[in-house]
Amino acid sequence: MRLAVVGATGEVGRMMTRVLEEQKVKPSLIKFFSSKRSAGTELTFMGKSYYSEELVESSFDDLYDYALFSAGADVSRRFSPIAADKGTTVIDNSSAFRLTKEIPLVVPEINGGLLENYHGIVANPNCSTIQMVLSLQQVNNLYGLRTIVVSTYQAVSGAGRKGIEELDRQEKGLVPEASVFTRQIYRNVLPQIGEILDNGFSTEEMKMVLETRKIFDDEDISIWPTTIRVPVEYGHSESLYVETRKPFILEDLKRVIAASENVVLKDDIITPLEISGSDMTFVSRLRSFDGKRFLMWNIADNIRVGAATNAVRILLRHALLNRLS
């Protein structure tokens, strides 16, 4: 298998490389790309040193089987069609193609079947959406989802390396001014992620609405998100209120969530510090008054579950379904 990692020096790119190693993917060729700024950065993969190369149009002449992109939407819009035209399956972490009708938006545990006989660009969903749909996958299958009201508590790493650096700088008292975030994030909570749109929702909130409906292939799910940035380094948390279409018995609901692929149900509370580095999505504080609606706390490592791990799971599922190794 021939692999390209684009955005290899970033938070998601570095983690994708680590997850590829952990999953024992053994490419016959692997190359790492970044912008000109960090071309030449040393990266290690399977104990061997590599140096990132500046991404240019001819970067895909090596005819890769897969290119994992995490360099932002503009880079994806410009370069991923070039790779796809050369026969490379692109797995794109950016928002560039997520809502394009003919491009599959994939969480393998839910709609991985879309990858069979598919070649071209595959979109990886937004981080807060992935962990939410993973927890609700079997609830949707068995009871149907009518309404989701969700408030997120999103880590600064969701804004990439520069988000972590801004929190670090403010913590050290070096530069209190905000540049990545709209206000100071240290000792604060910001009820805005992305731009605020004409309808009053933010771009991050609309991603949760539209991507969830696309992944579940159900335009009738009513989704009400408030996305919030908190001074946490890694791990997004979500508080969910969910109404189902069919009634449930709470003990059955617990069994259904606990049996969902790559989801762990905990009796105890669970916080971002405890789950950082895990590939699982954790649910706790599951509770209901009436068997028609329930509340839960949902948490996952945003760089792994919300980006790198899902991208590598897409690659592995695609390779399996299309007999590539």
Instruction: Using CB under 6 A, count the residues that bind ligand NAP.
Output: 30
127 is catalytic: yes
272 binds ligand NAP (CB under 6 A): no
119 is catalytic: no
Instruction: Closer to ligand NAP by CB, 32 or 143: give it.
Output: 32
Among 104, 108, 158, 235, binds ligand NAP (CB under 6 A): 158
β-pair partners for 46: none
User: x/- contact string, 206-225, with ligand NAP (CB under 6 A)?
Assistant: --------------------
| Minimal distance, residue 3 CB to ligand NAP, in Å | 16
Tokens 């609309």 correspond to 206
Among 25, 31, 67, 70, binds ligand NAP (CB under 6 A): 70
Cβ partners under 8 Å of residue 269, min gap 6: 284, 285, 297
- How far does CA 23 lie from the centroid of its chain? 18
The catalytically annotated residue of 30, 122, 127, 300 is 127
β-pair partners for 48: 45
The catalytically annotated residue of 229, 236, 313, 317 is 236
Question: Which tokens hold the place of 27?
Answer: 């490419």
Burial class (CB in 10 A: 0-12, 13-18, 19+), 132: buried
Question: Which tokens hold the place of 203?
Answer: 């771009």
235 binds ligand NAP (CB under 6 A): no
12 binds ligand NAP (CB under 6 A): yes
127 binds ligand NAP (CB under 6 A): yes
Q: What share of the chain is helix, strand, coil (3-state, %, to 5)?
A: 35, 25, 40
Q: Which of residues 31-60 bind ligand NAP (CB under 6 A)?
A: 33-35, 37-38, 55
Among 89, 138, 302, 309, binds ligand NAP (CB under 6 A): 302
- With b for 16 or more beta-carbon neighbours within 10 A and e for fewer, the 9-47 pattern comes to bbbbbbbbbbbbeeeebebeebbbbbeeeeeeeebebee
Instruction: Closer to ligand NAP by CB, 94 or 298: give it.
Output: 94
Q: Which residue is nearest to ligand NAP (CB)?
A: 10
| Minimal distance, residue 101 CB to ligand NAP, in Å | 21
Contact between residue 299 and residue 270 where contact means Cβ atoms under 8 Å apart: yes
108 binds ligand NAP (CB under 6 A): no
Contact region with ligand NAP (CB under 6 A), list: 136-144, 172-180, 250-258, 302-310: 302-310
Burial class (CB in 10 A: 0-12, 13-18, 19+), 278: middle
Parallel/antiparallel/unpaired status of strands 236-244 and 121-123: unpaired
Q: Which chain residues interact with ligand NAP by CB under 6 A? A: 7-13, 33-35, 37-38, 55, 70-73, 75, 93-94, 127, 157-158, 160-162, 302-303, 306-307
Q: Just list the catalytic residues.
A: 127, 236
